[in-house]
Amino acid sequence: MGSSIGSAGGATGATLGRPCPLPRTGALPQPLPRPPATRGAAPFGSGTSSSRILTVLPDNTMDLGLAAQLLKTCSKSTAMTFLDQNISFMVDYQFFRQIMLQKGILKIDQELTLDKSSTPIVSGFATNENAFRQSFANAMIKMASVDIVVGSAREFRKYCGSLIQQIGRVARFFRKHRL
């Protein structure tokens, strides 16, 4: 969140007082002050099997049926899969239902169900579509009021591993605002 992903980069992102990426949602520090946003909903998209952020075996948090399906899909290094296995082009509460069923494609999404501070939020959204819709609408309103990073103020990431930092920032933003 707040950065562009590109092919050029530098070390400036590491010197702006930003926290390092952390592997567990429970270990995330306090959110960044006033995080700029350039994107909307996270469950909308796809990932490549070569991506290091996909939840693939031997991860024991993933549904075994989904893991077997992904192993077949990801046998090709260029294969892609949708982040939401049921409704690929729609942002709705089903995403939370899927991660409650251990069918999260991204490891960080699946870990939302394992952390004591985020589990009630995930469970609430998974069982109450209206609560999800209201919270999502509120989040979009908040994001609309944030300054958009443009021009030379943007960051361009050279390595795909930097995407993990982006995901951590998104998680911190959502945890701060209880979204």
State how far the Cα of 54 lies from the Cα of 72, in Å rounded to an integer: 14
Is residue 63 a known part of a binding site?
Answer: no
Position 153 scores a pLDDT of: 67
Is residue 92 a known part of a binding site?
Answer: yes
Position 152 scores a pLDDT of: 72
- 163, 155 in Cβ contact below 8 A? no
- 132, 91 in Cβ contact below 8 A? no
- Name all domains of the chain by residue range, CATH numbers in brackets: 11-176 (1.10.420.10)
Phi, psi dihedrals of residue 95, rounded to the nearest 5°:
-55, -45
Read off the pLDDT of residues 21-70 as tens digits, 9 standing for 90 and up.
Answer: 334 444 444 443 443 333 334 444 445 444 444 444 446 778 888 877 77
pTM across the whole model: 0.51
- 101, 84 in Cβ contact below 8 A? no
Q: How confident is the model at residue 176 (pLDDT cuts 50, 70, 90)?
A: confident
| Cis before 33? omega within 30 | no
Task: Decide if pLDDT at 128 tops 90.
Answer: yes
- Residue recorded with tokens 């996909």: 54
